Structure 1
Amino acid sequence: MQKLAALTLAALLAFSPAIAQEKVWHHGGSLIGEPKYPAGFEKFDYVNPDAPVGGVVRLSSMGGFDTFNPILPQGEPADGIGLVFETLTTPSLDENSTQYGNLAEAFSYPDDFSSVTFRMNPRAKWADGEPVTAEDVVWTFNKVIALNPSQANYFANVTKAEVTAPGEVTFTFDKGGNRELPNIMGQLIVLPQHWWEGAGPDGKPRDISKPGLEPPLGSGPYKLAAFSPGTSVTYERDPNYWGLKEPFNIGQNNFQTVKYEYFLDTTAEFEGFKGDEFDWWDENLALRWQGGYDFPAVTEGKVIKELFENAYRGSGILVGFVPNLRKPLFQNEALREAMLYAFDFEELDKLRFFGQYDRINSFFYGTEFASSGLPQGEELEILNSVKDLVPASVFTTEYKNPVNGDTTKLRQSLRTANEILTKAGYTLNGNQLVDPNGQPVTFEILLNGPTIEPIAAAFQTNLKRLGINATIRSVDSPQYIERAQNRDYDMIYTGWVQSLSPGNEQRDFWGSASAAQNDSRNYGGISDKGVDALIDKIVFADDRETLIAATRALDRVLLAHHYVTPTYTLRKSRIARWDRFSHPETLPEFSIGFPTVWWYDEAKAAKTGAAKN
């Protein structure tokens, strides 16, 4: 014992007292200005601290699930599993890119952002009563980067995680200047090392490298209560949850039971909603929102329709048809550009969208990061610094979508597409377009269910006029997910949500390293040195102005390469719900807050009728 004490003392003396004194601890941090809530705040402004606790909320999901292990690239984790686990920090829903202490009560980083240290919350406990430790954090981080290539890429600038003092964990970075990285590390999900290294119900050691359906041990507000593999999963509020009275949890997690029901296609899912099999429906079809809510529960006032802007105030979006550049066919940029002219948004808007949508013209649509006009100022300087790696057109030509909507305009757009293809060496063999190598231009558009079929069919018709033979295949959600993960597609319809603080996730979206990783969100297989260089300028931007300029430059280059045929979006959530719930008078600025800050309203439920299951 004396030898151990001497070693411990020596280790403590090895740390410089001057460094320890200089450490500044933060209760919260923001990438945009200062945190709204001061140290010692009592609650978030958008919650009802007196919200009743109880009742059930039933949600839906597409596909199925086969694991409760949240960190693996393979398998489909159950929806809601985040209710069981927690992260080092937690976001505020009325601020953007802002985090407050959770499992860690405070964090500290040097002026050059070369590391971050988290001081664990001494009150934080696992559901079995064991403390959440700094050792748990280090163990989790090491497992995540060892088992998940996408996450290893995301954390590429982190050289090590280590316990640097009792109850403190430090992440060291390979270089300074990444202002977002301390916030990113706070988003790390933390798992219990003692549970995962223990034995399961069968007496055999658990294996975190494999998916599984043993209900996991977590530190969160809910426990997994019941499940039917791939069909439903139910969570129950934990009355002994350690964070019940923590300021960041007051007035939240008010439902006693949270249940997810799974469906294989959206048509059956919507019928399930109409039949009161679950409570909340986020509508994604303009046609159905316009005329599909004539069932009795709506006319009787039991189902409410409402538009919410909240979730879109703090994010941008890109949605569209994404060609797989891993296929030789789509490596020709001229073909990708020509396809843009075959998408007739204006005609679809008249016939199917009822004027509800806007056309997307940026990879960061809806944010200040969207490029426009020609590059100027710092954005131009950044583009000039990578001039040899980016298309020359970004300096001279503003990106613009074609405007169609009538026969004359569409004919002109298709003529432009033909000119692009002809110049690139494409020719017609009868009615079939062939590439410069004489190969027919034909591909399959893979869809996740039938929702987008009419949109894809309109696109298909115009492609056919160019001699391009595109087929459409709609599959159920499990098959779509499997094929998407295996990159087994020619083209898919998908999208990306962008935060108001772009950073490391851009590598996962468009970076060369992620192109070869099946679990990344680089669905198109983009691998381009100019894109990589601009992503680095985003990641290491030293102030907000540079971040905006670098992101606009990246947007401009991504658009110039025509990696996506952008389609449309609605900057509001179309929500239908069974009228059994209430929410604070003022919802958070950047989120609907459902179900987190809502609650079960007994009086409303009595009028609407109790949930059927």
Structure 2
Amino acid sequence: MSFGKFILGLVIAATASLPAAAAPQSAIALHGSPLFADGFTAFPYVNPSAPKGGKLTLGVPGSYESVNPLIVQGTPVSGISDFVIEPLMARSRDEPFTLYGLLADTIDVADDRKSVTFTINPLARFSDHQPVTQDDVIKSFELLKEEGRPNHRTYFAKVTKAEKIGERGVRFTFQDATDRELPLILGLMPVFAARTMTPEQFETGGMKPLLGSGPYTVSNIDAGRSISYRRDPEYWGKDLPVNRGRYNFDEIRFDYFRDASVMFEAFKSGNIDLRLEEDPGRWAGGYDIPAVHDGRLIKTEFDIGLPAGMTALVFNTRRPVFSDPRVRRALMTLFDFEWTNRTLYNGLFKRTESYFERSYLASTGHPADARERALLAPFAEAVRPEILEGTYRFPVSDGSGQNRANQKAAFALLTEAGLVLKDGRLIDPKTGRQLAFEILANSNAQEALLLSYARSLAPLGISARVRVVDSAQYQQRLSSFDYDMIQNTWPSSLSPGNEQLFRWSAKTVDSKGSFNFAGVKDPAADAMIESMLAAESEPDFVSSVRALDRVLLSGDYVVPLFYTPRQWVAYWARLKHPDKTPLFGYAVDTWWTENK
């Protein structure tokens, strides 16, 4: 045997002993396998035969300043990300985190998980009929990484290289393999025709729409008041399995209202077609009108399998008034949920007790398992014992409105923090300053709750002032963390991941436009998020999320409020929806109209 043949034989033998490299896939799940196999024709929560046509008008509170939702500058308009701009892959609404082919028809995660390659669908076209190219994907990535919102900048900072592979491939290389969610996050990256604007134009925003590849194009802009989208009859992806039965309306319009009551009246008069109701009082008594009684307007409730997330009054811990956790805990204790729910909300809300409420990811009621305890061991002071054991419950009142027992407990905490009650004012004896703060709001609908909470603090000599500002000023102050307290909702999914960095990481505590509204800067929170992103199995993932939940609950960053057990939706009867509701709840892009 020649030396060359000997070496060739060694190479063949060595290659045969290696595991076969995974082939590019048309779908990917964060944990487990995709629910729908290759060749599926449509998602089970759509009507594939839904007729096309008609118009849908939706109401939005406030106003808008920009039609580019991918940047911090200006309050963004609704609908661009849903109907105009498409990601590389489409998310299934019936699975925790699974993606299927869209602009990219395949995804290929390297065996060492240090890179991911997407292959662009050769049929993909922008609305100007130009093909979606490798350059479009890479330039979209670069603009989002450098000029985009902090969430994209945070995620994409982990990518060290974006390059063309072959004729249709784009490969993203990572700093390391610790973030198992990152390939899917890149799969959800919005792609637009970056060739049509300079980085300066992208960053500025304004009223020039991004050129996208989605099923709709912008047909009319009335700056700050409304925006309309027209369905593209030549939409390239209309026959893809992920799109079949969706995007059925010829026109979708968003009308903006500065007053919530005016918007509700517009709905009752038929000028708005569908409404997601979030006010229990209105849901209980506001729909007692002829159109409901005679069936022209329908009230219904949809099941939703997603976590409710955290709705809360948020302490800005960057402010000295909230720097002491004992003060924050006292202010939490003074919130009378039972009285508030009964008096303001007809008893229809449930109390939020976890950042992942209404799901198996919540730590509430569960003692920490061995994996959680190992993760938390280096941070012995980060979690209170009762939260570690799952026995902690938020203070409960008798619902009478007196709340005396909780007032006593709160006063003990405030005294422990060094504050004293003098002449009816709770003060810091060193400075003589009263414990006082401002609650910032952007809607009159919030006032009843916020004023009620402020009144509950007054008996202990605490001054809380509610200030309502317009949506533009509110967004500006939110982005620069210029507030003492706000009301906020952090929604959640069954696959929390990189967005948690955007909310709780020390790296985002000073990042303008981040959602780290509470100013969380805790090594334990950072470590739990890192563990969550690196989890290879479902049990490890759940333990990591619950451990993060315990850290956040122990930090006393918010006054948890409430959540709705189901989705409350009212709509005019000419609208129709599929029989099956997906895990994520109702989806208006699967609806249609009978009267065109």
Give me the TM-score of the superposition, normalised by structure 1. 0.90
Q: Which residue of 2 aligns with 1:423?
A: 416
Q: Which residue of 1 aligns with 2:159?
A: 158
Q: Which residue of 2 aligns with 1:4?
A: none
Per the TM alignment, residue 408 of structure 1 is displaced from its structure 2 partner at its CA by: 9.5
CA contact under 8 A between 1:177 and 1:540: conserved in structure 2? yes
Q: Which residue of 1 aligns with 2:130?
A: 130
Counterpart selection for 2:307 from 309, 315, 329: 315
Per the TM alignment, residue 390 of structure 1 is displaced from its structure 2 partner at its CA by: 5.3
Instruction: Return the alpha-carbon distance in structure 1 between the equivalents of residues 440 and 200 of structure 2.
Output: 37
What SS class does the counterpart of residue 377 from structure 2 fall into? helix
Instruction: Return the alpha-carbon distance in structure 1 between the equivalents of residues 501 and 196 of structure 2.
Output: 33
Q: Which residue of 1 aligns with 2:192?
A: 191
Q: Which residue of 2 aligns with 1:28?
A: 27
Per the TM alignment, residue 285 of structure 1 is displaced from its structure 2 partner at its CA by: 1.2
Q: Which residue of 1 aligns with 2:353?
A: 361
What SS class does the counterpart of residue 355 from structure 1 fall into? coil
Q: 1:342-361 maps to which residues of 2 (within 5 A)?
A: 342-361=334-353
Instruction: Return the alpha-carbon distance in structure 2 between the equivalents of residues 550 and 586 of structure 1.
Output: 32
CA contact under 8 A between 2:382 and 2:551: conserved in structure 1? no
CA contact under 8 A between 1:514 and 1:522: conserved in structure 2? yes
Counterpart selection for 2:456 from 462, 466, 485: 462
Instruction: Return the alpha-carbon distance in structure 2 between the equivalents of residues 329 and 33 of structure 1.
Output: 46
| Shift in alpha-carbon separation, 1:158–1:389, aligned structure 2, 3 A | farther
Q: Which residue of 2 aligns with 1:202?
A: none
Q: Which residue of 2 aligns with 1:171?
A: 172
Counterpart check, 1:294 vs 2:294? no
Q: 1:82-481 maps to which residues of 2 (within 5 A)?
A: 82=81, 83-148=83-148, 149-196=150-197, 207-310=201-304, 313-371=305-363, 372-387=365-380, 394-395=387-388, 398-406=391-399, 410-435=403-428, 437-438=430-431, 439-481=433-475
What SS class does the counterpart of residue 242 from structure 2 fall into? helix
Residue range with higher mean Cα deviation, 454-463 or 50-59:
454-463
What SS class does the counterpart of residue 555 from structure 1 fall into? helix
CA contact under 8 A between 1:265 and 1:477: conserved in structure 2? no
Amino acid at match of 1:350: R
Counterpart selection for 2:563 from 569, 578, 583: 569
Instruction: Return the alpha-carbon distance in structure 2 between the equivalents of residues 393 and 299 of structure 1.
Output: 50
Instruction: Return the alpha-carbon distance in structure 1 between the equivalents of residues 202 and 119 of structure 2.
Output: 26
| Shift in alpha-carbon separation, 1:352–1:393, aligned structure 2, 3 A | closer
Per the TM alignment, residue 212 of structure 1 is displaced from its structure 2 partner at its CA by: 2.3
| Shift in alpha-carbon separation, 1:338–1:442, aligned structure 2, 3 A | same
Q: Which residue of 2 aligns with 1:517?
A: 511
Per the TM alignment, residue 271 of structure 1 is displaced from its structure 2 partner at its CA by: 1.5
Instruction: Return the alpha-carbon distance in structure 1 between the equivalents of residues 489 and 145 of structure 2.
Output: 25
Instruction: Return the alpha-carbon distance in structure 2 between the equivalents of residues 206 and 330 of structure 1.
Output: 38
Q: Which residue of 2 aligns with 1:598?
A: 591
Instruction: Return the alpha-carbon distance in structure 1 between the equivalents of residues 372 and 429 of structure 2.
Output: 36
Amino acid at match of 1:593: A
Q: Which residue of 1 aligns with 2:549?
A: 555
Amino acid at match of 2:52: V
Instruction: Return the alpha-carbon distance in structure 2 between the equivalents of residues 407 and 238 of structure 1.
Output: 57
The unaligned stretches of length 5 or more in structure 1 are 1-16, 198-204, 606-613
Instruction: Return the alpha-carbon distance in structure 2 between the equivalents of residues 217 and 408 of structure 1.
Output: 55
Amino acid at match of 1:146: E
CA contact under 8 A between 2:339 and 2:400: conserved in structure 1? no
Instruction: Return the alpha-carbon distance in structure 2 between the equivalents of residues 349 and 592 of structure 1.
Output: 25
CA contact under 8 A between 2:386 and 2:392: conserved in structure 1? no
Query: Over residues 479-518 of structure 1, what are the superposed CA-to-partner deviations in whole Å (9 max), with x where a residue is unaligned?
Result: 3222222322110011101111111111111111111112
CA contact under 8 A between 1:177 and 1:542: conserved in structure 2? no
Identity rate, percent: 36
Amino acid at match of 1:320: A
CA RMSD after TM alignment: 2.2
Query: Over residues 523-548 of structure 1, what are the superposed CA-to-partner deviations in whole Å (9 max), with x where a residue is unaligned?
Result: 11111222112221112122211111
Per the TM alignment, residue 451 of structure 1 is displaced from its structure 2 partner at its CA by: 1.6
Per the TM alignment, residue 392 of structure 1 is displaced from its structure 2 partner at its CA by: 6.5
Q: 1:72-83 maps to which residues of 2 (within 5 A)?
A: 72-82=71-81, 83=83
Per the TM alignment, residue 388 of structure 1 is displaced from its structure 2 partner at its CA by: 5.8
Q: 1:8-87 maps to which residues of 2 (within 5 A)?
A: 22-82=21-81, 83-87=83-87
Query: Over residues 34-79 of structure 1, what are the superposed CA-to-partner deviations in whole Å (9 max), with x where a residue is unaligned?
Result: 1111112222222222211100000111222222223211112221
Q: Which residue of 2 aligns with 1:487?
A: 481
Instruction: Return the alpha-carbon distance in structure 1 between the equivalents of residues 19 and 169 of structure 2.
Output: 12
Q: Which residue of 2 aligns with 1:201?
A: none
CA contact under 8 A between 1:84 and 1:219: conserved in structure 2? yes
| Shift in alpha-carbon separation, 1:396–1:241, aligned structure 2, 3 A | closer
CA contact under 8 A between 1:316 and 1:497: conserved in structure 2? yes
| Shift in alpha-carbon separation, 1:397–1:583, aligned structure 2, 3 A | closer
Residue range with higher mean Cα deviation, 217-226 or 437-446:
437-446
Per the TM alignment, residue 474 of structure 1 is displaced from its structure 2 partner at its CA by: 2.2
Instruction: Return the alpha-carbon distance in structure 2 between the equivalents of residues 486 and 518 of structure 1.
Output: 5
What SS class does the counterpart of residue 353 from structure 2 fall into? coil
| Shift in alpha-carbon separation, 1:433–1:114, aligned structure 2, 3 A | same
Q: Which residue of 2 aligns with 1:586?
A: 580
What SS class does the counterpart of residue 259 from structure 1 fall into? strand
Per the TM alignment, residue 216 of structure 1 is displaced from its structure 2 partner at its CA by: 3.4
Per the TM alignment, residue 84 of structure 1 is displaced from its structure 2 partner at its CA by: 0.9
Instruction: Return the alpha-carbon distance in structure 2 between the equivalents of residues 477 and 571 of structure 1.
Output: 28
CA contact under 8 A between 1:399 and 1:560: conserved in structure 2? no
CA contact under 8 A between 2:29 and 2:97: conserved in structure 1? yes
Residue range with higher mean Cα deviation, 66-75 or 360-369:
66-75
Per the TM alignment, residue 193 of structure 1 is displaced from its structure 2 partner at its CA by: 2.8
Per the TM alignment, residue 406 of structure 1 is displaced from its structure 2 partner at its CA by: 4.2
CA contact under 8 A between 1:134 and 1:169: conserved in structure 2? yes
Instruction: Return the alpha-carbon distance in structure 2 between the equivalents of residues 515 and 480 of structure 1.
Output: 19
CA contact under 8 A between 2:155 and 2:182: conserved in structure 1? no
Instruction: Return the alpha-carbon distance in structure 2 between the equivalents of residues 397 and 306 of structure 1.
Output: 35
CA contact under 8 A between 2:506 and 2:520: conserved in structure 1? yes
Instruction: Return the alpha-carbon distance in structure 1 between the equivalents of residues 580 and 393 of structure 2.
Output: 38
Amino acid at match of 2:345: F
Per the TM alignment, residue 436 of structure 1 is displaced from its structure 2 partner at its CA by: 6.0
Per the TM alignment, residue 448 of structure 1 is displaced from its structure 2 partner at its CA by: 2.2
What SS class does the counterpart of residue 243 from structure 1 fall into? coil
Instruction: Return the alpha-carbon distance in structure 1 between the equivalents of residues 279 and 28 of structure 2.
Output: 38
Instruction: Return the alpha-carbon distance in structure 2 between the equivalents of residues 206 and 118 of structure 1.
Output: 28
Query: Over residues 201-238 of structure 1, what are the superposed CA-to-partner deviations in whole Å (9 max), with x where a residue is unaligned?
Result: xxxx9822211212432111001111110111111010
Residue range with higher mean Cα deviation, 153-162 or 321-330:
153-162
Instruction: Return the alpha-carbon distance in structure 2 between the equivalents of residues 408 and 588 of structure 1.
Output: 40
Instruction: Return the alpha-carbon distance in structure 2 between the equivalents of residues 420 and 462 of structure 1.
Output: 16
| Shift in alpha-carbon separation, 1:396–1:549, aligned structure 2, 3 A | closer
Instruction: Return the alpha-carbon distance in structure 2 between the equivalents of residues 474 and 542 of structure 1.
Output: 45
Amino acid at match of 2:540: T
Per the TM alignment, residue 20 of structure 1 is displaced from its structure 2 partner at its CA by: 13
Per the TM alignment, residue 115 of structure 1 is displaced from its structure 2 partner at its CA by: 1.4
Residue range with higher mean Cα deviation, 513-522 or 435-444:
435-444
| Alignment length (residue pairs) | 577
